[in-house]
Structure 1
Amino acid sequence: MTTDTTAVATTQVYRVWIRATPEKIWAAITDPEFNSKYAYRAPGFFDLKKGGSYHATATAEMKEFAAANGFEVPDTIIDGEVLESEPPRRLVQTWRMLMDPGTAAEPYTTLTWEIEEAKMQAGVCKLTVTHQLTDAPATARMTAGTEDEGAGGGWAWILCDLKTYLETGSAFAG
């Protein structure tokens, strides 16, 4: 008998290079009109000041999927607080996923978005997302996109779709 003891890192770092301006990337992250058009399509709302609120809301499709599979999804699926906001370069926020009882019971985690112009090519920016997941193993598995949690592709999926959307105008599941 074997036991899978694979640990998920308590700090996850993701990088993607995007052919877009820092301002366009910032808007894609922070504007619900924009952030509802890629990845899981859940609009995220930011009050972009220190101490401001953050929350993402469930889509009708999420609620329909949950109902068809015998569970409920709350209206607010992620919440948190803005810790730092330096448009269009840096956003630090707390982050807690509420759509799963296991992740909702864990403490807030810290998510940092950093946007910088790439030195290697004009018109390209590097987006680095660092997620500090101390004492949040269920959230770490979800955001890593591990199959055992049924979470889809996690941050890798979100960032790849963000890049695709900004560069082509179309998201993966369009």
Structure 2
Amino acid sequence: MSDTQVFRIWIKAPAEKIWTAITDPAWNEKYAYAAPQFYELTKGGRYYSTANQGMKDYAAANGFDMPEIILDGEVLEADPPRRLVQTWRLLMDPSTAGEPFTTLTYEIEEAGPGVQRVTVTHDTPGAPATATVIRGSAKAGDESGGGWAWVLSDLKSLLETGKVMSDV
């Protein structure tokens, strides 16, 4: 199994709007796992995501702790609105939290009039639990483990229709 996973989707939206939806917590809390993500968009800047109330409630109801910070990392490169490279570590699960930081790259490229190709490349050497999580569940309807394919699909739905997949 490769340590590099690549996910690609085409979105009918300006590059700037996609960039904002990825990097602005007012936008990125609207889709996928609905947990706001915060970026300091300079080399060496902090990246983190906080648990939303639904995550906290689920953890409490199922008898486990949910950390306040569920993702962390560092911005390695920010070239708005085309390229973002960062480290990434999932802290919600002990198996992923104990692994090394992985490297996540977003690339937004013009693919035609008004259409952008969004590519997410996630390098996970030495992080097999993280690789499994980001690959996503193959089970239909399993929103708890949709991985990057599900996140990108939800981003596309939001930007093209104004609604996330659960609202469509």
Give the equivalent residue in structure 2 for 1:131. Answer: 122
TM-score by length of 1: 0.91
Deviates more, 1:32-41 or 1:150-159: 150-159
Q: Distance in 1 between matches of 2:98 and 2:137?
A: 19
Residue 136 of structure 2 corresponds to: 145
| TM-superposed deviation, 1:173 | 2.3
Equivalent residue runs for 1:1-174 within 5 Å? 7=1, 9-118=2-111, 121-146=112-137, 151-174=144-167
Count residues in correspondence. Answer: 165
Q: Aligned equivalents of 2:10 and 2:154: distance in 1? A: 12
SS in 2 for 1:16: strand
Query: In structure 1, the residue corresponding to 2:166 is in which secondary structure?
Result: coil
Contact residue 74 and residue 98 of structure 1 kept, 8 A: yes
Q: Distance in 2 between matches of 1:56 and 1:173?
A: 21
Name the SS of the counterpart of 2:145 in structure 1: coil
Distance 2:166 2:36 in 1: 16
Q: How far 1:152 sits from its partner (Å)?
A: 1.4
User: Residues 112-166 of structure 1, C-alpha deviation per residue, up to 9 Å, x if partnerless?
Assistant: 0000110xx3100000000000000000000001369x94100011000000000
**Max radius of gyration: which structure?**
1
Q: Distance in 1 between matches of 2:42 and 2:135?
A: 28
Structure-1 separation of matches of 2:162 and 2:154:
10
After the TM superposition, which segments of 4 or more aligned residues of structure 1 sit over 4 Å from their partners?
none
Superposition deviation, residue 10 in structure 1: 1.2
Return the letter of the residue paired with 2:73: G
Q: Distance in 1 between the 2:92 and 2:29 partners?
A: 17
Provide structure 1 residue ranges, at least 5 long, that are not aligned to the other structure.
1-6
Whole-angstrom CA distance in 2 between matches of 1:29 and 1:173: 19
**Structure 2: tracts of 5 or more residues without a match:** none
Determine if contact 1:47/1:53 at 8 Å carries over to the other structure: yes
What is the distance in 1 between the residues matched to 2:82 and 2:16? 8
